[in-house]
A = this chain, B = another copy of it.
């Protein structure tokens, strides 16, 4: 956890490939040195390791005894004995059952098993690689599906300027096509440079620094959340264009769709990639047929555009309107970066396959986008609130029959798939942020099914909230969308420019030129979108990005502080104030020399080691405190446990009055007065406060001591019985938590 300053500069080495092993940090040579030093100090006084091993009263390999699963009903899953492999010591492997002992838990686990499938081993991750014909539909669904709302968003702005403004659609679309080409070329460079996955976050962080990286991550993450929301909204529009009666229920249906995506992704849907190929290919096919038929029709009339219906202009046609149309239309490019993020998901040679796939994708995207716009222009279609542009085109080309329904169904399906792309990428960005200590560590955890469950859940909740907040409509979401996407594009490609400048390998000039063009164009779109759509919602996206940078910086700061605090501090233990001897070995072996030859211990020096920095046993100066209410079996066990530690023990009793205190003292004497007892009179009848006060006072008296508070706790079987017992142990534990150097031990007593 002390690797907070991991160098991500290499990029190509670290990459974006998630691994289940990220939780155990790698120690560098310096850290290993510290570890060795600490170990030497420990070894100076602490006796023979072999003696500690002999003293173990159990067989850690669980070998000599029958496996518990054979002799006992399974309660917490079971262990599988694995035979030694390649000279590794034979081990015990846990199964994936994470069931709680309660009946409810078992039912829950069963439901989860049915919904999400059986747990997957970490080693299964290697098999989840994709062929190109599978990767293309899965990874390009986001980009290609943008054709379903990008042109529409552009036209929706132009139409405000009336019919004359609509004629600007062709030049604006041409600009966007050029942009697609430039950005696509730019990402080809990224794939080559970052074969382990070069998402915008990685590229920007590695080349531009931490804050630009965070900005890129913020852009990406808002992008992914909005991709889900916009794709679902747009898919719903495709459905309601065909079946208008569903219109009132789109919010509810959309939320259900997001829930299904959630469940599917928690299951780990990448394995279903083959199934997912269908909608993308169907959509591509449908749009191609549509465009072909439309062009055929148009050729009949000599490519003379049909006049658009009369429109009342609500705004004048000016540069601002055209720029806004451009910014809206450029949302047709969202998702173009998906392949560069997911390079490691390809089959080897990953980067080569990824590049080829990217080229195919950009080709398809441009074809679909250009074809759609051309058809809109030729057919004189105008956007309507009731029916999507694509649906209008399909109606004109196919009439109301099978082909129309097929087109709408394929559109809805690819939009769903696009949302699913976000489910692959959003958790991966969170994983990378968490690995760099910029997001909570829970996002590092791979779930049962090798999916980043926590990130998937967060994405679903955020997307569903935004979708519902905007009543399931696409149009108002577009302004929020463009800003985040093009912020990430810009930073990613600016990062690539720096990368090539630093590297200067073969072809670096050409690569740099491509990336610089992409960066420049993306920046123009980003600024255009941010400025022209600021009041329409872009302000919100900007605010979110700012907050994101703030919060992640604070998180990183916290982890840095914690990591610093958790570092080992090699320090010589001055006086062996206490001799730590291995416990007596079970087979009657003689005690080791460490004990017999140890010098007579001395009192610890005053105020030594007031902080929580003990690294060796002899630095721990113990005192056990046993709060005891009555001398019953639970209390007696706690006392016996305390005494068995062979540390100084002080029993503590809280009494409401001096008379009662006297009575307890007599019982204590009857018992034999074997341990020192202190009675605190609490005339106000509180129990927790005087105990905590007293323990804190002891701590201030001797800050070098480690106080172990040993609490007898009655554990009942049914929750309803909890009400019948004071939860003193839990309350004390909570009250003692903030105090330093106080170890809390619970001795449970089950009834």
Contact = CB atoms under 8 A, between A and B. Distances in A.
Contacts of A64: 701
Interface string A715-734: 11100010111100000010
A683 B80 CA distance: 11
B696 A75 contact: yes
Contact of A617 (B644, B697, B740): B644
B600 A622 contact: no
A57 B621 contact: yes
Interface stretch (A276-284, A369-377, A406-414, A631-639): A631-639
B93 A683 contact: yes
A98 B569 CA distance: 38
A453 B600 CA distance: 56
A699 B489 CA distance: 57
Contact of A659 (B21, B650, B716): B21
A749 B612 contact: yes
Interface string A9-40: 00000000000110111110000100110111
Contacts of A57: 621, 623, 648, 702, 705
Contacts of A32: 667, 670
A657 B123 CA distance: 8
Nearest to A695: B76
Nearest to A659: B21
Given A633-B615, A667-B27, A686 B98 contact: yes
A193 interface: no
Given A58-B702, A640-B614, A672-B39, A681 B76 contact: no
Given A62-B701, A588-B603, A684 B119 contact: yes
Contact of A683 (B53, B72, B123, B441): B123
Given A91-B681, A94-B684, A684-B119, A637 B656 contact: no
A272 interface: no
A78 B53 CA distance: 47
Interface stretch (A183-191, A231-239, A523-531, A576-584): A576-584
A53 B91 contact: no
Contact of A122 (B77, B440, B561, B656): B656
B21 A446 contact: no
A379 interface: no
Given A581-B646, A658-B85, A724-B441, A38 B636 contact: yes
Contacts of A607: none
B743 A737 contact: no
Contact of A675 (B52, B100, B647, B684): B52
Contacts of A615: 633, 636-637, 640
A568 interface: yes
Nearest to A622: B644
A659 to B, nearest CB: 7
The complex is assembled from copies of this chain, and their number is 2
A679 interface: yes
Interface stretch (A41-49, A134-142, A359-367, A381-389): A41-49
Contacts of A726: 441-442
Interface string A636-670: 11001101111111100011111111111001001
Contact of A693 (B94, B567, B749): B94
Given A123-B683, A615-B640, A661-B91, A693 B60 contact: no
A746 B35 CA distance: 23
Contacts of A672: 36, 39-40, 42-43, 49
A88 B658 CA distance: 8
A96 interface: yes
Given A65-B701, A724-B559, A93 B682 contact: yes
B623 A694 contact: no
B748 A623 contact: no
A98 B749 contact: no
A630 interface: yes
A317 interface: no
A252 interface: no
A629 interface: yes
B583 A612 contact: no
Contacts of A682: 93-94
Interface string A90-133: 01111111111100000000000000000111110000000000
A708 to B, nearest CB: 7
A532 interface: no
A658 B68 CA distance: 23
A56 interface: yes
A735 interface: yes
Nearest to A88: B658
A1 interface: yes
Given A39-B671, A726-B442, A684 B735 contact: no
A97 B686 CA distance: 9
A319 interface: no
B683 A121 contact: yes
Nearest to A591: B600
A393 to B, nearest CB: 48
A670 B637 contact: no
A314 to B, nearest CB: 47
29 contacts: A20-B656, A32-B670, A36-B671, A40-B672, A49-B674, A52-B648, A60-B650, A60-B678, A68-B696, A76-B696, A88-B658, A92-B678, A92-B680, A92-B681, A94-B682, A94-B693, A121-B684, A122-B656, A123-B683, A562-B725, A565-B749, A566-B632, A566-B751, A580-B644, A583-B646, A620-B644, A641-B743, A737-B748, A740-B750
Given A55-B648, A582-B646, A645-B645, 16 more contacts: A26-B663, A39-B674, A40-B672, A58-B702, A65-B700, A71-B700, A76-B689, A76-B696, A94-B682, A562-B751, A565-B633, A565-B749, A583-B622, A641-B706, A738-B750, A744-B746
